[in-house]
Amino acid sequence: MLLTSLYNYWVVIALMMIGLYMVIAQGNLIKKVIGLNIFQTSVFIFYISAGKVDGGGAPILVQGENLYSNPLPHVLILTAIVVGIATTALALALVIRIKRAYGSVEERDIQAAEEFQAAGQDAGEHKPC
C-alpha cells in the first residue's frame, strides 16, 4: 500500500539515478546533456509532488472550501523549465563548438587532443633557436 501510494517519489528516484548515471558514466557530451535534463526533470517532478495537497482545491476563494493547494511550486517550476531550456541550448551550443575545435564530442578524444597539444607546446618551448 505504501509503495503504490508514493509511486511518484519512486519515479523521481529512478529518474534521478538514471540522470546521474548518464552524467557520470557516459563519455559523450551530448549524452551528458541529456542526463542532466533527465535529472532536472526528476527535480521538477519531486518539487511538484511535494507541493500537492491531498484534498486541496485551487487557490480560489469558494464557499465551503477550507483546504487549498499552494500554486507557488508550480509557478517556480514553470520558471525553472524556461531556465532549463535556455541552459540546454547553451550546453548544446558549447558541444557544437567543442566538436568544431576537437573533431569529437567524446571526452577521451578531447582529453587526448589536449594532452597532445600540450606536449607539442612543451616540446616547442625547449627547442634551441
Residues 94-124 pLDDT 10s: 999 999 999 999 999 999 999 988 888 776 6
Neighbours of 114 (CB within 10 A): 11
pLDDT at 6: 82
| C-alpha cell at position 91 | 550546453
Q: Which of 49, 56, 37 has its CA nearest to residue 11?
A: 49
CB 112 within 8 A of CB 105: no
Residue 62: per-residue pLDDT: 72
**Are the CB atoms for 51 and 69 separated by under 8 Å?**
yes
Cβ neighbours around 31 below 10 Å, total: 15
pLDDT at 126 over 60: no
pLDDT tens digits, 19-58: 999 999 999 999 999 999 999 999 999 998 887 777 777 7
Quick check: 16 pLDDT over 80?
A: yes
Per-residue model confidence (pLDDT) at position 1: 62
Regarding pTM above 0.85, the answer is no
Residue range 1-53+67-122 in CATH 1.20.1260.10: no
Average confidence (pLDDT) over 1-14: 83
- Angle subtended by helix axes 72-102 and 29-51, to nearest 10: 180
**What pLDDT does 78 receive?**
93
